[in-house]
Amino acid sequence: MGAIQVVEPRVVKISTRTEIDIRRTLPHAHLNRIGAWVFLDHFGPTTQVDGMKVAAHPHTGLQTVTWLFEGAVDHRDSIGSEQTIRPGQLNLMTAGSGIAHSEKSLGGPAALHAVQLWLALPDAVRHMTPMFQHVEAPREVRIDSLLAKVFIGELTGVKTEAVVFSELVGAELALDGQVSLPLNKRWEHGILVVEGEIEIDGQPVRKDQLAYLAAGSGAVRIEAKNFVGILIGGAPFDEKIVMWWNFIGRSGDEIVAMREAWNEREYPEFTDELGGWIPAPELPNVTLRAR
Ligand code: MN
């Protein structure tokens, strides 16, 4: 049984998501990624339901995975998708060679509470034509008193319809009690505590922390009180990547080209209620290197 590494979130304020503090646990100084999962933002719950207003911005070389606990968010993109997402649904945007999108939270629900994650695309498919998929309902897996809503990938042989390009899982977990959760032994995993408190193999993990479980374990014992969390995992992703702003490439030069293409407005236009677009920031003064 490998040791469990606990990652503290960084609080990130993003000017375009005005009223919301984001807790980011991936990437982290001590943890680059978990399988192909390279980015994990958790925001809310907040009653500033109109707090999320992210104008048009690009993505390349990755998939964005959006999962809500509460609220509603409108998605628009440059391939013509218009989709409101609500709790229990998945929005999966495969950026491939490049896509632009905007996100706006809607009034009406009492609160907004969500996670957004990114998956690195393997080299063989990262230049693919962009696509967007909305899945209405997750696959449910019950193990003793644990309920797992599997929204992407697969858990204990139960597979979702979400289109992915490496072996992985993403699921919302709910547990009040204890369970031995079977894990794919070849995969590494992470468990984000969203609500409640848990012990994983006897180690306490607090709210907003991400527990990292190295590959090699066929199961993990979880004891929980009113726990809600996110399970991510996957086969170790052994390609070196460069991640900068909203792009994933394989070299600094690729990132420079992606940035220019966006700032020179080479992406298809689309309309939304937000208007405007977010320019890419200045590149750092050092050469971006793959890691
Ligand atoms: Mn985005």
Looking at residue 115, what is its pLDDT?
97
Cα–Cα separations (whole angstroms), residue 287 to 27, 218, 243, 284: 19, 40, 12, 8
Q: Is 174 helix (H, G, I), strand (E, B) or coil?
A: strand
Cα of 185 from ligand 1 centre, angstroms? 32
| Residue 289 identity (one-letter amino acid) | R
CA dist 24 and 208 (Å) reads 9
Looking at residue 2, what is its pLDDT?
54
Cα of 36 from ligand 1 centre, angstroms? 17
Looking at residue 44, what is its pLDDT?
87
Looking at residue 1, what is its pLDDT?
46
Q: Is 35 helix (H, G, I), strand (E, B) or coil?
A: coil
In the chain the first and final C-alpha atoms are separated, in Å, by 27
CB 248 within 8 A of CB 241: yes
CA dist 130 and 213 (Å) reads 32
CA dist 150 and 139 (Å) reads 5
Cα of 77 from ligand 1 centre, angstroms? 10
Looking at residue 100, what is its pLDDT?
98
Cα of 209 from ligand 1 centre, angstroms? 23
| pLDDT per 10-residue tile (average), the chain, 291 residues | 84 67 92 97 84 91 97 96 97 98 85 95 98 97 97 97 98 98 98 97 96 96 97 97 97 97 93 91 90 89
The dihedral formed by the CA atoms of 107, 194, 248 and 100, expressed in degrees to the nearest 10 = -10
Cα of 20 from ligand 1 centre, angstroms? 15
Cα of 240 from ligand 1 centre, angstroms? 22
Cα of 58 from ligand 1 centre, angstroms? 7
Cα–Cα separations (whole angstroms), residue 75 to 134, 188, 245, 249, 267: 10, 31, 19, 24, 17
What is the widest separation between alpha-carbon atoms in the chain? Answer: 54
Cβ neighbourhood burial of 289 (10 Å; 0-12, 13-18, 19+): exposed
Cα of 102 from ligand 1 centre, angstroms? 7
Cα of 39 from ligand 1 centre, angstroms? 11
Cα of 50 from ligand 1 centre, angstroms? 17
Q: Is 11 helix (H, G, I), strand (E, B) or coil?
A: strand
Cα of 8 from ligand 1 centre, angstroms? 23
Looking at residue 15, what is its pLDDT?
59
Looking at residue 18, what is its pLDDT?
57
Cα of 54 from ligand 1 centre, angstroms? 8
Cα of 163 from ligand 1 centre, angstroms? 18
Rounded to two decimals, the pTM is: 0.96
Cα of 201 from ligand 1 centre, angstroms? 35
| Residue 97, phi-psi category: left (phi > 0), alpha (psi -120 to 50), beta (remainder) | alpha
CB 73 within 8 A of CB 114: yes
67 CB contacts (<8 Å, ≥6 apart)? 90, 114, 115, 116, 117, 151, 170, 172, 230
> Chain centroid to CA 229: how far?
13
Q: Is 208 helix (H, G, I), strand (E, B) or coil?
A: coil
CB 149 within 8 A of CB 88: yes
